[in-house]
Amino acid sequence: MSGAQTLTKSWTGNELRETFLRFFESKGHRRVRSSSLVPHGDPTLLFTNAGMNQFKDVFLGLEKRDYNRATTAQKCVRAGGKHNDLENVGFTKRHHTFFEMLGNFSFGDLPGQPGYFKKEAIAYAWELVTSPEWFGIDRTKLYATVFGGAEVSPGSTLGVDEEARGFWLEQNIRADRVFAIPGLKENFWAMGETGPCGPCSEIFYDMGPAASEEGHTDCKFPCDCGRYVEIWNLVFMQFNRDTSGTLTPLPKPCVDTGMGLERTAAVLQGVISNYETDLFVPLIESAAGLAGVDIETEKNRTYFMVGDDISSSTSAFRRGGYLPSLRIIADHSRAAAFLIADGVIPSNEARGYVLRKIVRRALLHVRFLHAAFRRAGFPFLSRIATQVVDTMGSGYPELEDSAARITRVLDEEELRFTRTIDRGFHQWEEIRERQRQDWHSSLVQELEKEKPEEGLQIDQALKRAIEGKEPRIFQEFVRKSFGPARLERFIREWNKAGKLPVSGADAFQLYDTYGLPLDFMTDLARDAGIEFDQAGFEKAMEEQRTRARASWKGGAKEAANPAYAKIAEAYRTEADFYYGTSTKDCRIEAIVTKSGAVPELKAGETGEVVLDRTVIYAESGGQVADTGAFYDPSGSQVVAEVTGAYYPVAGLIAHKVVAKETLRVGDRVAVAADAARRDLIMRNHTGTHLVHAALRNILGTHVKQAGSLNSPERLRFDFSHFAHVDPEELRDIEQQVNDEIRFNTQIETNVSSLEDALASGALAFFGDKYPEHNVRVVTIPDSRAPRGFYSKELCGGTHVHRVGDIGVLKIVSEQSVAAGVRRIEAVTGIGALEHYQQRAQMLSQIASKLNVGEDAVLATVEKLSETAKQLEKQLGDQKRKGALGQLEELAALVQIVKGVKVIAAEVPNVDREGLRQLVDSLRQKLGSGVVALGTPEDGKVALIAGVTKDLTAKVHAGKLIQAIAKQVGGSGGGRPDLAEAGGKDTLGLKSALSSIPSLLEEWL
């Protein structure tokens, strides 16, 4: 028999998976489907991360199955939480977010069905791995390990697993190939602090020196440099550990094994990296194709991201060009496809958050590729994920069932992320560019300080180097003038520009204003090899929180009639408006007019009335006040008309009334609010909450309420946002809001402490004052949302009963109201219907004016505007021709001021472009001189001045134009040889032009 066996065939990942399962089926195992990546009934686990997860209760004896031998190919995800390998993925050979675990399990004996333990588990493993009928892996490359003894709980030591060693030797493994590894880390397994535990045995494969991460050429097993790869771990659940740490042998010992599919595929395909197997290569190639990356070229590249440094630095981290990005995209697409298939959707919480992080990390690298090769377009990730579905769907049919959803979810996330990133990334780059420039100019200044006499030369050399994009010129100069040592130091310092950390305060601004996610920035920093100022970021965030807190506690109170302060000492108004729009038996506690508190208000007089109780909503929180009436106690006769209500001081409601009968303090009245009007207001108020939530979902959580108004006619919502909202985004917002309306959940309101309300995720409007206790929380529940609600806000307003009561919400405008503050206006219910009707009517009127059908309106208008443009152009051309016709006439107006030729004249009927051409022609005609022309046009003045180059040292056209523009109530400026201005005073034009000679008199 020859020493080295060769593999009889190359195995695809799919074949490997299937063969493993078939092998164990042939040994009496039940093939069990992979469980979901979302563990059911195990809150301790974020994602399924091992084959045994789904059998946990079976191992614990809590659950019985009708089989005692099982085999699985289990989907696993490791990202987020304890096993956070995300950062390494793509930069190593074997880190993945998603991977498959092949396993065989024995749960102890069943009547008539014996389980198995170490002996059989080892024999099965060795047969599958080495038998030419199965995987046929070269035995000379294999090693086995057994537990080498350790202190398993305080004071109790477990010795070497000689039993296992014996079973390995029974398989005819050379004794020097079986290693006992001491310690708890490698070869001892425990489910938790207590419960099943036991020794492990592992099989390792020698990938050869090429796989060593540390460049070892001749190291021996068990060196952990990467050369020796663990492919299979056999866990022998032999003991139960109790709370005192004591181990007692389990009556039914169990077996749980895990073989990593990806690494075993690497072994069977004769490659050293998992990413070179057929599980990844097609994905990487597709990504490369989409992004325009040539893989072979990248293999030889030594940088990953390029700065504009004088000489680019390299690090081990950057070996392989853009290949890490391709690997990350491939890996993360697998994870994303599988997670979405198992029902996880990107969100800001728990599993959804990890998925979002994975997807966004992949998209970040798509972005890097796009920046470098300019090919990657939308959609990117879903195309790679589709390929995952195509290649792995045979093993995991749930992928095929979810294919459409995977694409949709990924496309949505890609669009949303791209929007946020485009804005934020641009700012990030600007900050870095600014830092770089500051840094570089400080270095140049240092040089200048060292040799002040060289100052000008330094500047010029630098300028030439920058213009020619050729740093050598400058380097050459520095070497000559300052010496090679100084040059070396200079370059070293210069190159640090690429490594300047972004300050935490800047980063926080990007986060707060541009919605750039924090983890995106930390990734960006790491990938650029710079430090991220986490502490500074947190400090800036805390400062902002403090500011926000101060702003809602210290709101200034409106100056109210001083009488109210006194009234408030004795009375307060109970707010009954949450429960209806009419009530009886309310007592008039006080009446206030301009003259202060009064005992009565006569019929026809206006004043303000305080009741002990009311159903009239008083203006607050952006909701306008109700209108309504006071009635006599029987409710049949109106005694006062209520035109509004407000809080003069906290807890007291003042009704603005016009008395119809005499009102006296102590009278009892019935009160009714205009119910139909209230309904309109409520629809809009609830609509405001929906719009707020949708804005945060779609634009990002940097969106903060800056004010709102809920009136019967419309709702108005002001919010912080740095850019205008795209029509596309508006449509998304509208769609999401209306989807929520159709979902028609019942609105919940409850009262809690401010602290609890904020902790539950309720949004507070920082411009408002809230009490510490008894704040009202308005929730729009949504069982589809990860947090169980769509919107949760602190709010004292009145709301519809079910969201569906709104009917429909239509955004009618979006505009800027202040720097960084946008305003959305929308209509609901009847208001929306009226809006649609008005628009439809307008369209029909336009169509009839144009004398075309409604469908043809757009095309007709386009044609009309095209025609209008052409006519305008023709008219302009003619005017210009006419103006040029005046050239000779104007030239004749030349005057001589101190020997310089000057033309200053008014030209009628010419546009700005014509004026410019005239000035140019006159300047040429004069050869040397000053020309200033003006024209009155549509009630405004246009002025242009031109100076021939030989005179610009004395006469600056910009200064000249400023001086004359002032006389026509305008302003302007420009270059020394040509300048323009506008003005408002057409009557002043003549005298302004005639002042030119005397102005020039002074300058020449």
Contacts with Zn ion, residue ranges (CB under 5 A): 212, 216, 219, 223, 225, 227, 795, 797
Q: Which is nearer to Zn ion, 118 or 799 (CB)?
A: 799
As a whole number of angstroms, the distance between CA 737 and CA 753 comes to: 29
Q: Which is nearer to Zn ion, 81 or 209 (CB)?
A: 209
CA dist., res. 117 & res. 124, Å (int): 11
- Nearest distance, CB of residue 795 and Zn ion, angstroms: 3
The H or E element spanning position 481 is: helix 471-482
Q: Which phi-psi region, left, alpha or beta, contains residue 898 (left: φ > 0; alpha: ψ -120 to 50)?
A: left
Q: Which residue, 589 or 740, has its beta carbon nearer to Zn ion?
A: 740
Buried b or exposed e, range 380-408, using 16+ CB within 10 angstroms = bbbbbbbbbbebbbebbebbeebbeebbe
Nearer to Zn ion, 327 or 799 (CB): 799
Q: What is the dihedral of CA 591, 595, 599, 600, to 10 degrees?
A: -70
Q: How far is the CB of 809 from Zn ion (least distance, A)?
A: 15
Which whole-number Å values give the CA distances from 321 to 213, 303, 840, 950, in the listed order?
18, 5, 58, 56
695 vs 922 by CB, closer to Zn ion: 695
Q: Which is nearer to Zn ion, 286 or 684 (CB)?
A: 684
Give the number of other CB atoms < 10 A from CB of residue 834: 12
Nearer to Zn ion, 149 or 797 (CB): 797
For the bound state, the minimum distance from the C-beta of residue 142 to Zn ion, rounded and expressed in Å, comes to 17
DSSP 8-state symbol, 748? E
Dihedral pair phi/psi, residue 751, rounded to 5°: -115, 135
Q: How far is the CB of 222 from Zn ion (least distance, A)?
A: 9
Q: Which CB, 228 or 322, lies closer to Zn ion?
A: 228
* 184 vs 575 by CB, closer to Zn ion: 575
Q: Hey, how many other C-beta atoms are within 10 angstroms of the C-beta on 740?
A: 24
Minimum CB–partner distance for residue 614 and Zn ion (Å): 20
Considering beta carbons, is residue 418 or 798 the nearer one to Zn ion?
Answer: 798
CA dihedral defined by 763, 769, 775, 778, rounded to 10 degrees?
A: -40
Nearer to Zn ion, 223 or 843 (CB): 223
Q: What are phi and psi for residue 239, nearest 5 degrees? A: -125, 165
Q: Minimum distance between the CB of residue 623 and Zn ion, rounded to whole angstroms?
A: 7
CA distance 35 to 958: 77
CB of 372 to Zn ion, least distance (A): 34
The least distance separating Zn ion from the CB of residue 621, rounded to whole angstroms, comes to 5
Q: What is the DSSP letter of 437?
A: H
Cα→Cα distances 56→29, 35, 122, 152, 341, Å: 18, 12, 22, 22, 23
Nearest by Cα to 342 from 100, 788, 35, 82: 35
Q: State the nearest-atom distance from the C-beta of 179 to Zn ion, in Å.
A: 15
**CB 710 to Zn ion: min, Å:** 7
Cβ closer to Zn ion: 795 or 960?
Answer: 795
Which residue, 227 or 357, is less far from Zn ion as judged by CB?
227
Distance, in Å, from the CA atom of 327 to the CA atom of 281, rounded to the nearest integer, reads 9
Local structure of 116: helix, strand or coil: coil
Inter-residue contact 277 to 328 (CB < 8 Å): no
At its nearest, how many Å lie between Zn ion and the CB of residue 230?
14
Pick 209 or 289: Cβ nearer Zn ion: 209
Q: What single letter denotes the amino acid at residue 209? A: P
For residue 911, what is the DSSP state? -
Residue 624 CB, shortest distance to Zn ion, in Å, is: 12
Closest approach of Cβ 566 to Zn ion, in Å? 31
In angstroms, give the least distance from the CB of 170 to Zn ion.
Answer: 29
Q: How far apart are CA 573 and CA 610, in angstroms?
A: 7
Query: What are the angstrom distances between the C-alpha of 383 and each of 80, 329, 334, 336, 392?
Result: 25, 11, 11, 12, 14
CA–CA gap between residue 826 and residue 916 (Å, rounded): 47
816 within 8 A of 826, measured Cβ to Cβ: no
Q: End-to-end CA distance of the chain: give it in Å, rounded.
A: 108
Q: How far is the CB of 683 from Zn ion (least distance, A)?
A: 13
671 phi and psi, to 5 degrees?
A: -125, 135
Burial of 822 (0-12, 13-18, 19+ CB in 10 A): buried
User: By C-beta, is 202 or 980 nearer to Zn ion?
Assistant: 202
